[in-house]
């Protein structure tokens, strides 16, 4: 059917209407007229579609940065993972800002303008800022039944053979075995740490190995972080430094007490706890809480420079429950004076964690979010507990995708 595309929606898709019904259509741009194929009519309220021809193009449409993901290909053969690659880069950022603004208004009750900032060229020298390519330091290639490798097609688990990986850093494009076969493997991981050589890892079994797991080192400024080679790290080559700088900027120094019970929740290997320590000195008291035991082990070593730092292995919700029920009066006072940094998974912190945080009543929260709707929902929950959104920055850490990273500061006001 022919559709007039109206606006962007969360998730890298766009909104059109057909005879009063909402149609979510992929690979379009607001203002375009497209021919789209409906592939999902399972819901009464909306359908899902994918563009197969552009009749009237937006002035912001460009040749897709990844030929294998282009609208010229049949949808079932388009590589996934670059759903905004057909959109000029400044318009991409405007679309991401629009999604974040809309989410904050709808779910957080906050009206606020947002500018999505690019990563500084000084932090990611290999990135083509105009094209949004050359930034990805981790790539997983899936293995098809015949042993060929490639990304999944958009919205499916079909492996698409490709001849290029334009989002990857140069070290990975040189290493990628795109024409080879890996019969019997599950996946091939490509990893380019900031220290040392890039690696190709054939994944035969997703279970944790019994042998010692290989480690890598990532450098942020003058500081090194050790982590498991298959452990979590920000995928954009300049993301860790960008978020470190943003946390530095967003913490209100006048409201920060280095002796308080400061925390880094969902702390990983200690990146953001280190950001706090680097800004406020080696006597800062801060606890990193992370459910992954290996990451916590690394965090303990990575934070060894700070005498007041410690790393705890625990689920954040259970840790806060225990803290709320067992803390004495002095500890509750230190919590009330605290700054809490939290970087939850894509699903956000959620009601249970928000409710406990509000009960403990830290002075300020610095919330790092990779999903605008989850952030907005949690902002709304926190506002109901008497916290207000004081500051917000957003960053384009995933160019040519719909993803956007945001860092927010909330303060207890009542």
367 labeled part of a ligand binding site: no
Residue 209 has pLDDT above 80, yes or no: no
Q: Could you tell me if 260 and 332 are in contact, meaning their C-beta atoms sit under 8 angstroms apart?
A: no
Confidence (pLDDT) at 42: 86
Give the active site residues.
370
Neighbours of 294 (CB within 10 A): 17
**Where exactly are the structural domains of the chain?**
2-61, 93-124+233-412, 138-207
pTM, entire model: 0.95
The answer to the question of whether 343 is labelled as a binding residue is yes
150 contacts 159 by C-beta, under 8 angstroms: yes
The answer to whether 359 is a known ligand-binding residue is no
Calculate the alpha carbon distances from 332 to 290, 301, 323, 359, 413 in Å.
21, 27, 9, 10, 18
Q: How many Cα neighbours within 13 Å face the side chain of 294?
A: 14
- Is 266 annotated to bind ligand? yes
Q: What is the pLDDT of residues 60-106, one digit of tens each?
A: 999 999 999 999 999 999 999 999 999 999 999 999 999 999 999 99
Please tell me the predicted confidence (pLDDT) of residue 206: 61
Half-sphere exposure of 300 (CA within 13 A, CB side): 8
CATH superfamily membership of 2-61: Nucleic acid-binding proteins (2.40.50.140)
- The encoded tokens of residue 40 equal 């999902």
CATH 3.40.50.150 at 93-124+233-412, yes or no: yes
Which pLDDT does position 401 carry in this prediction? 98
Mean pLDDT of 331-359: 95
Where residue 282 falls among pLDDT bands split at 50, 70, 90? Answer: confident
């Amino acid at each position: 059917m022919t559709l007039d595309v109206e606006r962007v929606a969360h998730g890298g898709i766009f909104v059109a209407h057909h005879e009063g019904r909402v149609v979510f259509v992929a690979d379009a741009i607001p203002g375009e007229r497209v021919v789209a194929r409906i592939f999902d009519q399972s819901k009464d309220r909306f359908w899902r579609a994918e563009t197969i021809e552009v009749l009237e193009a937006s002035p912001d449409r460009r040749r897709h940065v990844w030929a294998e993901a282009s609208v010229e290909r049949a949808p079932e053969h388009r590589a996934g993972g670059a759903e905004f690659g057909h959109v000029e880069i400044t318009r991409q950022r405007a679309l991401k800002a629009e999604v974040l603004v809309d989410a904050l208004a709808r779910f957080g009750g906050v009206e606020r303008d947002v500018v999505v900032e690019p990563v500084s060229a000084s932090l990611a020298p290999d990135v083509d800022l105009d094209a949004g390519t050359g930034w990805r330091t981790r790539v997983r290639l899936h293995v098809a039944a015949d042993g060929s490798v490639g990304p999944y097609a958009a919205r499916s688990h079909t492996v698409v053979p490709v001849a290029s990986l334009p989002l990857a850093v140069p070290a990975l494009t040189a290493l990628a075995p795109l024409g080879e076969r890996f019969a019997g493997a599950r996946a091939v991981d490509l990893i380019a740490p900031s220290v040392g050589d890039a690696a190709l890892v054939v994944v035969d079994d997703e279970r944790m190995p019994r042998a010692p797991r290989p480690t890598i080192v990532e450098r942020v400024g003058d500081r090194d972080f050790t982590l498991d080679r298959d452990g979590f790290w920000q995928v954009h080559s300049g993301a860790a430094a960008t978020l470190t700088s943003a946390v530095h900027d967003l913490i209100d120094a006048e409201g920060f007490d280095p002796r308080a019970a400061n925390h880094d929740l969902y702390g990983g290997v200690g990146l953001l706890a280190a950001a706090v320590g680097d800004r406020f000195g080696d006597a800062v008291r801060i606890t990193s809480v992370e459910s992954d035991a290996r990451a916590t082990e690394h965090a303990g070593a990575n934070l060894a420079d700070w005498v007041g730092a410690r790393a705890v292995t625990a689920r954040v919700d259970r840790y806060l429950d225990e803290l709320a029920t067992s803390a004495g009066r002095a500890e509750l006072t230190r919590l009330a004076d605290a700054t809490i940094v939290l970087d939850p998974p894509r699903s956000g912190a959620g009601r249970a964690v928000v409710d406990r945080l509000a009960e403990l009543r830290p002075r300020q929260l610095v919330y790092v979010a990779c999903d605008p709707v989850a952030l907005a929902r949690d902002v709304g929950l926190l506002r109901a507990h008497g916290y207000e959104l004081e500051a917000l920055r957003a960053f384009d850490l995933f160019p040519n995708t719909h993803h956007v990273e945001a860092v927010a500061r909330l303060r207890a006001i009542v």
